[in-house]
Chains A and B, each alone.
Chain A
């Protein structure tokens, strides 16, 4: 039986938290990686995440099927991405400004349609109990892994491979690094970016479905608390590398679990400081990996951020 695990329970909680909390970070940051690799920034993914959470929850309540909710969230996210991509192909439109507008639009629309769905309970997504080998309930709880987390992990590896080894990956990278070169090769830059932004939207929508249908598994207006924005920043932190996105998402998830876990074992002073841990960590890592000699390594050349 459990007994007193002491500080071990903090480690278990951080591992469990990393698995539980990281999935929305992972999906949004992978989506944003695709978009930014094509040379555009979509800051609106926070709005897409919240709208995905709402539409998934509403669909699951109405149909009784959480997977239908995931599908609808992905479609809704894709529609937001298409809208962003479409507006940005108009001349002299700034993608950052459009993203901020879409962020407010997405959250506002989600709050508007979500009113009726705060009260009802939706069926949650299933989880796989990888902790079956242990008879410690804390470990069993920490290792209950949702399918979407595994999908996200596989997707990270796939995208990392695809950017290097497939034609589609090469086209996205060329468009992102030099629009002129892409045009000279005969590719329609705007269309590639449109599809890349839409793909990013689909992933962010699915991340939202995870929030409302698995963890914390409920719809209310405070559900995301800025996770979509943090995930966009995480892409820069991960240097546009899908594998690093996965690691960074785990890091942020685990760091978020640190505060509550420390309080539960009796480290009760200064919890506000522990809650700031993910951000302090980010700052420290960015400073440690920065260089005065070169620009951000791995940054797509067409990004308005690095131009």
Chain B
């Protein structure tokens, strides 16, 4: 730089240019800005990382700008984040990803900004909600069912363990699917669940994993935001683990059986392509393995040939779509009937979004 003097005119000019940048960017022809909002750090080896990986993959798409904010709590802080993404970054597609971001925060913002599209991960959008809002989610319980099959073949004690955060429907579906998968191998298998009460509590998750293994469990999985602690603690204690959210096999190469992973990219790509074509993206998106929204980690060395064959066969069935994990006759762990013989919920059944029971064989209560 030749001229180091800072005149008032320079400063004013710079400020004006700064103020104009977001506007001009928003108005650039054909450019769409998508705003991703995460509840935790975007490299948590878990839930937020799965979303951030998809956002990163999107960045190569032509005519698309991606803006992200991490560690946005499930309070009205998320409304402020959304407003700044709309007003400062010119975002027209907003994607808050945490369960608690939906109501009332995202719904309120959708009412306030009718020209902006909002899509939320995990919320239950209905016709009564604003038309510029929507929700998407993947049936990862299918992945937990396949985890359960691998676990059912690997367990010697016939006891499995599950470290869970909060008893919400998605978590309960995963616990149920994990045990039902294992029971498809051996009906005598049971599963102990321990709730930690929060999405991310490292010490409590380690204590829960230890307590499960002390209680005799020899295969452990979890549904918390960052499975790293559970995977490492279980492997150190010599138990097998099944992963969740993303592939955690590098953390426990010998003890990692397989894992249920998200693949959000096709959903996000669909939204962006619809917006770029001038259409309104779908309001309600659900899908599982067959739709490519969920995938499995590669099998680890602890998975026997019989287990591989079994899991691959069930996976092939699931890939056809309409696979029923929850099917009658089925009782919950208090002995109450959930479904009569002959009935079942396929992966897209709305009933699965309001699960409030643990199936027979799960030790724990909601």
A220 near B228 (CB under 8 angstroms)? Answer: yes
B206 near A216 (CB under 8 angstroms)? Answer: yes
Whether a CB of chain B sits under 8 angstroms from the CB of A217 is: yes
- In the bound assembly, the distance between CA atoms of A221 and B49 in angstroms comes to 13
- In the bound assembly, the distance between CA atoms of A257 and B365 in angstroms comes to 19
Whether a CB of chain B sits under 8 angstroms from the CB of A63 is: no
State the Cβ distance, A107 to closest chain B Cβ, in Å: 11
Whether a CB of chain B sits under 8 angstroms from the CB of A134 is: no
Interface size on A, as a range, is 35 or more
Q: Chain B contacts of A272 at CB under 8 A?
A: 197
1/0 per position for B249-276, CB-CB distance to A under 8 A?
A: 0110000000000000000000000000
How many residue-residue contacts, CB under 8 A, span A and B?
122
Select one of B203, B206, B214, B365 contacting A12, CB under 8 A.
B214
Whether a CB of chain B sits under 8 angstroms from the CB of A87 is: no
B203 near A256 (CB under 8 angstroms)? Answer: yes
A264 near B211 (CB under 8 angstroms)? Answer: yes
Instruction: Report the stretch among B40-48, B54-62, B121-129, B288-296 that lies at the interface.
Output: B40-48
Q: Chain A contacts of B213 at CB under 8 A?
A: 141
B216 near A256 (CB under 8 angstroms)? Answer: no
Select one of A119, A137, A260 contacting B194, CB under 8 A.
A260
Interface size on B, as a range, is 35 or more
B232 near A121 (CB under 8 angstroms)? Answer: yes
Q: Chain A contacts of B237 at CB under 8 A?
A: 141
Whether a CB of chain A sits under 8 angstroms from the CB of B195 is: yes
Select one of B40, B236, B250 contacting A221, CB under 8 A.
B40
B204 near A119 (CB under 8 angstroms)? Answer: no
1/0 per position for B31-54, CB-CB distance to A under 8 A?
A: 000000000110111000000000
- In the bound assembly, the distance between CA atoms of A64 and B363 in angstroms comes to 41
A222 near B207 (CB under 8 angstroms)? Answer: no
B197 near A257 (CB under 8 angstroms)? Answer: no
Residues of B at under 8 Å CB distance from A?
40-41, 43-45, 71, 192-197, 200-208, 210-216, 226, 228-229, 232-233, 236-237, 250-251, 363-365
> What are 16 of the A-B contact pairs (CB < 8 Å)?
A12-B214, A115-B41, A118-B45, A118-B228, A211-B203, A216-B202, A221-B71, A223-B202, A224-B202, A227-B203, A256-B203, A259-B204, A260-B207, A260-B210, A263-B194, A264-B192
